[in-house]
Amino acid sequence: MTYRTEHCGDFNEGQIGTDAIASGWTARRRDHGGLVFIDLRDRSGMVQLVIDPEHAPAALEVAQAIRVESVIRATGKVVARAPETVNANLSTGAIEILVDTLEELAPSDPLPFQLDDEGVDEALRIRHRALDLRRDVMRETQYVRTMTTRLIRRYLEDRGFWELETPILTKSTPEGARDFVVPARLEPGSVYALPQSPQLFKQLFMMGGYERYYQIARCFRDEAQRADRQLEFTQLDLEMSFVTRDEILELTEGLYCALWQEILGVELPRPFPRITHAEAMLRFGSDKPDLRYGLEIADVSALVANSGFSVFKGAVEKGGAVRALSCPGAAALSRRELDELAEFAKEWGGQGLAYLLLDPSGEIRSPIAKFLSEDELAGIVAATGAQPGDAVFLAADSPAVVVRVLGALRPHLAARYELADPKAWAMLFVVDFPLFGYDENEGRWVAEHHMFTAPRAEDEDRIESDPGSVLSEAYDFVVNGSEIASGSLRINRPELQERVFRTVGFSDEEAEDRFGFLLRALRFGAPPHGGIAPGIDRTVMLLVGTESIRDVIAFPKIAGGFDPLTDAPSPATPEQWRDLGLVVPPPKKQDA
RNA sequence: GGGGACGUAGUUCAGUUGGUUAGAACGCCGGCCUGUCACGCCGGAGGCCGCGGGUUCAAGUCCCGUCGUUCCCGCCA
């Protein structure tokens, strides 16, 4: 007995006249009373079975009783289709299998949803994920995923990287995301944490002298989920010793060119642009700008510093900024739409949004035009590159608020006017991030990237005196406005690491308690090293063109971290609570 | 934690200014059908309109609450 002489999608004209055995799922059945057609599907594709009552009466009875998605096995012969019955939409459409025997290996119940239905409730799809995974789009996505990791491994192995493992049960660390915590049975009251990333372990590999490490690593962060964020996700984590920033960026660039070339057949132009964080914030209002469209922000503060419009003049006098961007075609916006944009600006912390509408004739319509001189108007138009038919939007406030408002407005307008070419790829590296940011809530400095990121050598002496001015060796890889990877050169001297710990408010005791294992290792000679960690899920999202991370994860969680497939998380038993030395908390809420 | 949208048959949806017995398509069940490929034709079953409360002579429809899903803000070194 054998289940198949060929996979469904691999039957071909060269096999006409040969015996065939095929197994798979009943994708569709077309019953003509006498004659029955079955589309038989497996991972490779589909082939049509024909059950002819005169040829195989027993098989006909089986065929007529089979429900869709049942698993069956057919024996027969590969035969050519009559020319008028060839199906050009099917790779196997020139042939079919004339069935001798048909056997139902495992029947299917009626389905909870149809596999070809669009927009089926996601919780239902995930609850029946084994069914959902049979859909072509899901299978293709998971195949892109396997191609991605396969190519990553080949690319990095070819360049001397070792694939090394790091612990899943590890130490809870301060800063960063909320840890997932695992109670330690053998040490009641103590916990392990699941890694937010293998960051420190990969650094220890470098200190161990292993030069080049990578891992397709699962990472865990107990934070709110988003369309592109999942409680557990997968990173390509890599680290290199005796390496410069540009060598890491070039490696990343080469990897993504190889991925796009091999999976999409797209040749990405090299090198990928590199802009500084400061420039990105100024020109695009974002540290992950989408460069598929313009809408570039222009600073017109100097132009309007003495204007008759008090809002502009006042903002500049108070040390603020007036910045503007022009949007193609937006001069036709209605009053209501303009009001909505002003409302949008307020939601992002602005006072409102000033605008100039450039009529097709070139004439400027604007409530604030009467406060501005001809020169000022012309200067704004020139600075933003606005053309007749465009609208110029202006925000005046503190620089931080202006960046925030226009940074939000830019993608908002791009979406509204469909300015991003859906087939375009805009890769870039953002470099020179600040080392520290000031946390207003906590009233202290915090690491912008993480605490192990090296400051630029030329800024090192200002760590204590002016932390906000210190730039770091951190960088991001951004594609189409989405942060795909983040990395940095790391600190490799213990005294520098201690200075950074102190700056973010750690006493020496706390630092030793939390990161003693790192400091201990640093004291025995750490090589200069650095790395980067591209998100595998987000990379696959780009490759298959989806907006939802749940589409690229085989078994994802939905809102609230709930898994409709397994119903996890589920209550622990009293025995489990007792073993862990924990008190049973009251239930959070009753079911509706 | 906050805001927006959504919740009607197994699935995807419609349901008028509140007004007879809540509809369609697909699926399911039964029947017919020998060249279909989203096969076709005939018939049938299937509804706590998410849940609770309120307004009203009358609620799928209006109001409040709640639960769930989703997108966003906060958060995500």
Distance A562 CA to B53 C1' (A): 29
- How far apart are the C-alpha atoms of A473 and A277, rounded to whole Å? 11
Distance A111 CA to B12 C1' (A): 14
In this prediction, residue A227 has a pLDDT band, given cuts at 50, 70 and 90, of: very high
Distance A82 CA to B57 C1' (A): 70
Distance A163 CA to B72 C1' (A): 38
Distance A591 CA to B65 C1' (A): 15
pLDDT of residue A441: 84
- Nucleotide B72's nearest residue (CA vs C1') is A226
Task: Name the nt closest to A37 by C-alpha to C1'.
Answer: B36
Distance A225 CA to B76 C1' (A): 9
Judged against a pLDDT cut of 90, whether residue A582 lies above it is answered with no
The mean predicted confidence, pLDDT, of chain A is: 95
At a CB cut-off of 8 Å and minimum separation 6, what does A436 contact? A445, A446, A447, A448, A467, A468, A470, A503, A504
In this prediction, residue A222 has a pLDDT band, given cuts at 50, 70 and 90, of: very high
pLDDT digits (tens, 9 = 90+) for A333-372: 988 889 889 989 998 999 999 999 999 998 999 999 999 9
Judged against a pLDDT cut of 90, whether residue A323 lies above it is answered with yes
Nearest to A19 by CA among A103, A60, A78: A78
Distance A114 CA to B44 C1' (A): 21
Report how far apart, in Å, the C-alpha atoms of A22 and of each of A49, A135, A177, A257, A547 are: 9, 20, 50, 39, 37
pLDDT of residue A503: 96
For the residues A87-113, what does the mean pLDDT come to? Answer: 96
Task: Name the nt closest to A404 by C-alpha to C1'.
Answer: B73
With 0-12 / 13-18 / 19 or more C-beta atoms within 10 angstroms meaning exposed / middle / buried, residue A224 is exposed
pLDDT digits (tens, 9 = 90+) for A291-300: 999 999 999 9
Give, as ranges, the nucleotides of chain B with any atom within 7 Å of a protein CB.
Answer: 1, 10-13, 26-29, 32-40, 50-51, 66-77
Query: Do A537 and A234 form a contact (C-beta atoms < 8 A)?
Result: yes
- How far apart are the C-alpha atoms of A170 and A173, rounded to whole Å? 9
Distance A113 CA to B25 C1' (A): 14
ipTM of this predicted complex? Answer: 0.94
In this prediction, residue A591 has a pLDDT band, given cuts at 50, 70 and 90, of: very low
- How far apart are the C-alpha atoms of A420 and A425, rounded to whole Å? 10
pLDDT of residue A118: 87
The answer for A490, left when phi > 0, alpha when psi is -120 to 50, beta otherwise, is beta
Write the DSSP symbol of residue A462: G
Task: Name the nt closest to A198 by C-alpha to C1'.
Answer: B77
Backbone phi and psi for residue A77, each to the nearest 5 degrees, phi listed first = -130, 145
Tell me the three-class secondary structure of A25-80, residue by residue: EEEEEEECCCCEEEEEEECCEEEEEEECCCCCHHHHHHHHHCCCCCEEEEEEEEEE
Distance A592 CA to B66 C1' (A): 8
Tokens of A477: 């890889």
Task: Name the nt closest to A446 by C-alpha to C1'.
Answer: B77
In this prediction, residue A588 has a pLDDT band, given cuts at 50, 70 and 90, of: low
pLDDT digits (tens, 9 = 90+) for A15-62: 999 999 999 999 999 999 999 999 999 999 999 999 999 999 999 999
- Nucleotide B41's nearest residue (CA vs C1') is A32
pLDDT of residue A336: 84
Backbone phi and psi for residue A317, each to the nearest 5 degrees, phi listed first = -60, -35
Residue A340: how many CB atoms within 10 A of its CB? 14
With 0-12 / 13-18 / 19 or more C-beta atoms within 10 angstroms meaning exposed / middle / buried, residue A235 is buried
Report how far apart, in Å, the C-alpha atoms of A86 and of each of A14, A40, A46, A75, A216 are: 15, 16, 14, 21, 44
- Nucleotide B68's nearest residue (CA vs C1') is A592
Judged against a pLDDT cut of 80, whether residue A589 lies above it is answered with no
Nearest to A338 by CA among A349, A348, A330: A330
- Nucleotide B11's nearest residue (CA vs C1') is A113
For the residues A437-447, what does the mean pLDDT come to? Answer: 91
- Nucleotide B71's nearest residue (CA vs C1') is A227
- SS3 label, residue A170: strand
Query: Do A258 and A155 form a contact (C-beta atoms < 8 A)?
Result: yes
pLDDT digits (tens, 9 = 90+) for A297-315: 999 999 999 999 999 999 9
Judged against a pLDDT cut of 80, whether residue A250 lies above it is answered with yes
Task: Name the nt closest to A65 by C-alpha to C1'.
Answer: B29
In the block, tokens 């292993």 appear at A210
Report how far apart, in Å, the C-alpha atoms of A359 and of each of A329, A332, A365 are: 10, 8, 7
Query: Do A90 and A76 form a contact (C-beta atoms < 8 A)?
Result: no
